[in-house]
Structure 1
């Protein structure tokens, strides 16, 4: 009878242990999810607060960005006229890709997919990448929506010149929200964040090139001026770098824990204007 009693207790205990392990596993999954979402919002807040902590090089980069954008403002109309010369020759698939990939809905489908893949496969590096993508897109997307309405710059397709503005819009006014470019910001934010997964400068360059297609497409399609796209591309780098450094403190898997295989800096001078990348 004792043997039967112990056997009965064993059979009864095994399912309970299994249920306990299941609950524990689900709890870990939920804990990871809530921890990651907290880091998404933390990353957004961190990026917005960075100007209060900037030092010499940061302010220099901002000055270069401002000066470079101001210079491009002066040649936007001429650049748009130059684009007219090959606008019709740009392949439709490039324009379609650029317009669709930079769309906010498609962007969040992609970034959310990356994050969920990391969450369910328990891959911390992929989870962190998803958090970086989502928080960067959220920070830059909100910033773009507010600034575009406040600035109210005319799009090329409006028929007005680049110097025409209709600022302080409460509701969106069609063709008067060119600066900055939301499609460019979302697309290049993704490209810059994903490129951090790779050490090869050639792979990075390839990813950056793909990430710049939406900006190019928006120029050729008459939605943005060159300065809109150039400014948005560089600002995307600022945001991703800021949030990535914040996530260094939150995850064991880091992208910035060893010597940099790639560094960037803004350069502006009499014969130099642009983004200097060192391999």
Structure 2
């Protein structure tokens, strides 16, 4: 599949999967939900770009730390790859296969759609918003990594061409290593789950699973260590931006377009 098509597939998968759980009716309008979702994504997308540059609020230092860690990992990319390839075993092979499956971005969007749809069916605003946050953070993380993947065109370790081989905008699957989309998607999901639960065990499990996904990509020789670290940072950034954005809207009043059946109008939405 052409890399440029991936993000559109991600968005359509999430949108239509969510729509399948409900139809225009009392208290729910697919049209207005889509409009609001697009508006939120636009606002959140701007924040993803500006937040790493916000040093006044201290947020920019997190970006500096992430880039520093990525740069340090880059120095040792070959050493890490070589060390992992000498520790292979049947048990680790199976575990890594499972980790790669769990980290599939399409699977994550499916989970977000199920949570969102379940919230609608159960008339639970909490789970509906959780599904929204999951989907939005995933779309942002996947979009950001897709752009960087094609812009850098870094060769995957399995090509055997070395960590310094870059072919920008080559649009080839073996030259889209930096950053890891599986890892970014996993950490975006973990960030949202962690921010919306009081359970320490749930937080540990979410980040533990995301970390193992990153390990599986290294073990399978699909990514360099620096790819995984940058992917994790992007996922965490997107997750935090989305959850903070939703939190800031928890007490607000907004007017949004509303289309239902043959009628159209404006809806006043208050959050308290």
TM-score, reference length from structure 2: 0.75
| Change over 3 Å in CA distance of 1:32–1:141 after alignment to 2 | closer
Deviations 1:164-187, CA, capped at 9 Å, x for gaps: 111133xx2131111000000111
Question: Could you say which residue in structure 1 is the equivalent of 2:67?
Answer: 66
CA distance in structure 2 between the partners assigned to 1:118 and 1:251 by the alignment: 17
Question: Could you say which residue in structure 2 is the equivalent of 1:180?
Answer: 179
Deviations 1:52-88, CA, capped at 9 Å, x for gaps: 6442522222222222211111100001111012133
More off after superposition, 151-160 vs 193-202: 193-202
Deviations 1:195-221, CA, capped at 9 Å, x for gaps: 223223233112210122221111111
| Change over 3 Å in CA distance of 1:60–1:40 after alignment to 2 | closer
CA distance in structure 2 between the partners assigned to 1:185 and 1:123 by the alignment: 28
| Change over 3 Å in CA distance of 1:184–1:27 after alignment to 2 | closer
1:246 Cα deviation (Å)? 0.9
Other structure's SS at 1:91 match: helix
Look at both structures and tell me which one has the larger radius of gyration over its CA atoms.
1
Matches within 5 A, 1:86-97: 86-97=87-98
Q: Contact between 2:51 and 2:59, CA under 8 Å: does it hold in 1?
A: no
Other structure's SS at 2:161 match: coil
1:242 Cα deviation (Å)? 1.3
Question: Could you say which residue in structure 1 is the equivalent of 2:10?
Answer: none
CA distance in structure 2 between the partners assigned to 1:124 and 1:68 by the alignment: 38
For structure 2, the residue ranges without an aligned partner over 5 or more in a row are 1-23, 252-272
CA distance in structure 1 between the partners assigned to 2:213 and 2:70 by the alignment: 19
TM-score, reference length from structure 1: 0.73
After superposition, the CA RMSD in angstroms is 2.6
Other structure's SS at 1:162 match: coil
| Change over 3 Å in CA distance of 1:106–1:163 after alignment to 2 | same
| Change over 3 Å in CA distance of 1:53–1:129 after alignment to 2 | same
For the pair 1:110 / 2:111, whether they are aligned, the reply is yes
For structure 1, the residue ranges without an aligned partner over 5 or more in a row are 1-22, 253-279
| Change over 3 Å in CA distance of 1:156–1:251 after alignment to 2 | same
CA distance in structure 1 between the partners assigned to 2:246 and 2:43 by the alignment: 9
CA distance in structure 1 between the partners assigned to 2:53 and 2:112 by the alignment: 29
Matches within 5 A, 1:224-263: 224-251=223-250
Other structure's SS at 2:223 match: coil
CA distance in structure 1 between the partners assigned to 2:77 and 2:239 by the alignment: 27
| Change over 3 Å in CA distance of 1:196–1:56 after alignment to 2 | closer
CA distance in structure 1 between the partners assigned to 2:138 and 2:131 by the alignment: 11
1:121 Cα deviation (Å)? 1.4
1:99 Cα deviation (Å)? 2.2
Question: Could you say which residue in structure 2 is the equivalent of 1:8?
Answer: none
Q: Contact between 1:33 and 1:119, CA under 8 Å: does it hold in 2?
A: no
Other structure's SS at 1:57 match: coil
| Change over 3 Å in CA distance of 1:231–1:52 after alignment to 2 | closer
Matches within 5 A, 1:192-207: 192-207=191-206
